[in-house]
Amino acid sequence: MSVAADSSKTLELFPQSVLAKHNSKDDCWVSTHERKIYDVSKYLKDHPEEADAVHKALDGKHGTDISQMELTTLKFVTDDYLVGYLATSDEEKKLLTNKSHKVEVKLNADNTFDSTTFVKDLPTEDKLSITTDYERDYKKHKFLDLNKPLLKQILFGNFTKDFYLDQIHRPRHYGKGSAPLFGNFLEAFTKTAWWVVPTVWGPVVLYFITTALMNMNNPLALFLFGLGIFVWTLIEYCLHRFLFHFDEWLPEHSMFFMIHFLLHGCHHYLPMDAYRLVVPPALFVVLCAPIYKLVFAALPYYWACAGFAGGMLGYICYDLCHYFLHHSKMPPFMRKLKKYHLEHHYKNYQLGFGVTSWFWDKVFGTYLGPDAPLSKMKYE
């Protein structure tokens, strides 16, 4: 009986009866008002010097609800000690009656987290998996109903440009797969798994770099390969800033709103959708064709092979990096980059266009620093 608790791991949903069994000093669990369950005994094993103070503070509260303030004071409110969520009475019934013993957890019933509000401090990762209340969101914002196919609503919604741009960049979380775009058999063509990118384009990189290495000076080929990777970082920045975010130049027409939504708006509206995050191969062919023709027209053929292979590898790294920034617990040296990109979604979508680095953001004055302002929210 497990559910997705955050973007990096799966945690169990426990009934009250199970929580109550962990009530000794050597095996002590506590739950918070947010329904998170922490294994305090694990914390005490790691910090024996604090055992007496913790047991005194938790006296009589083993296996019961305690406040988040107490957790913060006791210093163990970190995901390292998070073991699961406490089931509600309704969820306990579902756990016992459904065959898979899995149930979706919705934690925002008390309005403690609203993903549609841009914030100065990035939400913790567990909040990025809290499912949006579809009915409440539609009633409040009068934008899109996540229960129904989205493209039809955009095409016939009669939204103004200002309203569409305001709402499309304010994140929602679908919570159980991918929201419907068409609502029919076309749905499958709108989804791409992350592994498709290296599977399809990896052999292309191998072909072009092998061709270059077999037919030209190898050090020069490797230099051009590296140059191609560097040039890709600029292309990545420009595509993200000027094509994917052609917000200011978006014509006031629902057909163009739909194009904007398919190109990048869907990702900002539903940033944690794992199947609409990397570029589908068909779309990449369209975007890549002009670059391919330019490179092979401007350079000798084998030089072009080496440089284009580097650019393609840069693209593969970009798409994989983008996916894992959203859906994995990154190693320490990548966590700042993850925070930087997620702030593009949850703090200011008009800054921070670099995904694999912030180099070009600093060059062109769009760096999303700690003191950057929040994107304005015009409509509630």
Sign of CA dihedral 144, 148, 150, 155: negative
The pLDDT of residue 94: 62
Q: Which residues of the chain have pLDDT under 70?
A: 1-11, 25, 32-34, 50-79, 90-112
94 and 215 fall within a common domain: no
Is 267 annotated in a binding site? The answer is: yes
CA 218 – CA 216 distance, rounded (Å): 6
Q: State the CB neighbour count (10 A cutoff) for residue 378.
A: 10
Is 2 a member of any domain?
A: no
The 3-class secondary structure across 194-260, one letter per residue, is CCHHHHHHHHHHHHHHHHHHHHCCHHHHHHHHHHHHHHHHHHHHHHHHHHHCCCCCCCCCHHHHHHH
Question: Which phi and psi (to 5°) does residue 339 adopt?
Answer: -60, -40
DSSP class of residue 278 equals S
Is 326 annotated in a binding site? The answer is: yes
Residue range(s) defining the domain that contains residue 260? 120-379
Any idea what the CATH number is for the domain that residue 26 is in?
3.10.120.10
Is 3 a member of any domain?
A: no
What Cα–Cα distance (Å) separates residue 226 from each residue in 289, 310, 318? 21, 6, 15
The pLDDT of residue 78: 67
Q: Could you give the strand order of the β-sheet that contains 65-66, starting from the edge strand earlier in sequence?
A: 2-4, 10-14, 82-86, 36-39, 29-32, 65-66
The pLDDT of residue 1: 42
Is 240 annotated in a binding site? The answer is: yes
The pLDDT of residue 59: 59
The pLDDT of residue 157: 94
The pLDDT of residue 316: 98
276 and 135 fall within a common domain: yes
Nearest CA among 207, 211, 232, 195 for reference residue 312: 232
The pLDDT of residue 310: 98
- List, for residues 50-102, the tens digit of each pLDDT value: 666 666 666 555 444 454 445 555 555 566 778 888 877 766 666 655 555 45
187 and 315 fall within a common domain: yes
Is 173 annotated in a binding site? The answer is: no
Q: What is the pTM of this model?
A: 0.72
Q: State the CB neighbour count (10 A cutoff) for residue 256.
A: 15
266 and 188 fall within a common domain: yes
Is 114 a member of any domain?
A: no
Is 289 a member of any domain?
A: yes
99 and 124 fall within a common domain: no
- List, for residues 235-288, the tens digit of each pLDDT value: 999 999 999 999 999 999 999 999 999 999 999 999 999 999 999 999 999 999
Query: For tokens 């703090």, what's the residue?
Result: 347
Residue ending a domain, choose from 104, 128, 159: 104
96 and 204 fall within a common domain: no
53 and 188 fall within a common domain: no
Structural domains in the chain (count): 2
90 and 151 fall within a common domain: no
Range list of β-strands (E), the chain: 2-4, 10-14, 29-32, 36-39, 65-66, 82-86
The pLDDT of residue 307: 98
Is 133 a member of any domain?
A: yes
Residue ending a domain, choose from 104, 129, 156: 104
Is 253 annotated in a binding site? The answer is: no
Question: Can you name the residues that pair with 84 across neighbouring β-strands?
Answer: 12, 37
DSSP class of residue 171 equals -
Is 327 annotated in a binding site? The answer is: no
214 and 255 fall within a common domain: yes
